[in-house]
Amino acid sequence: ARRAGFEGRITGTARSAETRAEAARLNLCEVCDTPEDAARGADLVILCVPVGAMGAVAQRIAPVLAPGTTLSDVGSVKARVIEEVGPHVPEGVHFVPSHPIAGTEQSGPASGFAELFDNRWCLFTPLEGGDPQAVADLRAFWEGLGARTEAMDAAHHDLALAVTSHAPHLIAYTMVGVADDMRRVTEQEVINYSAAGFRDFTRIAASDPTMWRDVFLNNREATLEILGRFTEELFALQRAIRTGDGDHLHAYFTRTRAIRRGIIDAGQDIGAPDFGRAVARKTGDRT
């Protein structure tokens, strides 16, 4: 926001004194000891906690939110957050749920950087009957941070993200778990000979356990729907390998290759490894 020229007050908080001290050391914002202190008097409040904690934090800050305030969140799941936060939103406060599709496997104050949202999508799932001006203002805010914005309904968001983010994370967690089991059989080989594909899985599988536990528990139906389809396709590929059906494999891989090209053509190939380098530059972390 400061990069975009915002000169107003930016406050923030976190549960642990250690995290708050780190945020203060990085000069990220005016660091407050409690969520109430961070939210009091704000025009815009953004909840950035695991999906399963959104309701409790909203309940806690509700008494300090003045009419006219916009309350938003960055949760990776939307329908459940709306269910959990909605009942705590005071009269006159505009609740506009949002989800920036940008991040890395890192968490904590040092993991943010000014370019994080550049050219990435920030999705909005506005409530029926909500204030259109509050939605327009929030979209303008995210566009000021460099994002592209789109509005959709929450169920659609949750299904789309189950395909593009939630199921892929679960598959990466599983693949790395399998490799870890195998490592016990092959000693160091799985790690030593890991090819780029596996390395990409390990990056995803290093994501925050609390955050991802909450994503799966709170986007259950959509994730299970996609995993069901995934399992069917996997079985078909498994059978093609067993029966030597090269045509099936070739046709399948040709179709999937086109998806990758489509992403690149759409200018969305801003891989998280580059983000990793940006974080490393900022923190001096060489790993």
Ligand X SMILES: O=C(O)C(=O)Cc1ccc(O)cc1
Ligand Y SMILES: NC(=O)C1=CN([C@@H]2O[C@H](COP(=O)(O)OP(=O)(O)OC[C@H]3O[C@@H](n4cnc5c(N)ncnc54)[C@H](O)[C@@H]3O)[C@@H](O)[C@H]2O)C=CC1
CA atoms within 13 A on the CB side of 115: 11
| C-beta closer to ligand Y: residue 108 or 130 | 108
Q: Which residue has the tokens 């939103």?
A: 89
- Tell me the chain's radius of gyration from C-alpha atoms: 21
CB of 51 to ligand Y, least distance (A): 5
* Contacting ligand X within 20-79 (CB under 6 A): 76
Which residues are 47's β-sheet partners?
73
Amino acid (1-letter code) at residue 3:
R
Give min distance, CB of 272 to ligand X, in A: 4
Count of residues engaged in binding ligand X, rule: CB under 6 A: 9
| Spatial distance between the Cα atoms of 216 and 241, rounded to a whole number of angstroms | 31
Q: Which stretch binds ligand X (CB under 6 A): 54-62, 97-105, 133-141, 233-241?
A: 97-105
Site for ligand X contains 270 (CB under 6 A): no
Q: Shortest CA distance to 207 belongs to which of 119, 103, 285, 53?
A: 103
Q: How far apart are CA 62 and CA 65, in angstroms?
A: 5
The residues facing 11 across adjacent strands are 30
1 contributes a contact to ligand X by CB under 6 A: no
Residue 97 vs 103, nearer CB to ligand Y = 103
> Choosing among ligand Y, ligand X, none, which partner's interface includes residue 53 (Cβ < 5 to 8 Å by kind)?
ligand Y
Binding site for ligand Y (CB under 6 A): 14-16, 19, 48-51, 53, 56-57, 74-76, 100, 103-104, 107-108, 208, 211, 215
Binding site for ligand X (CB under 6 A): 76, 101-105, 165, 204, 272
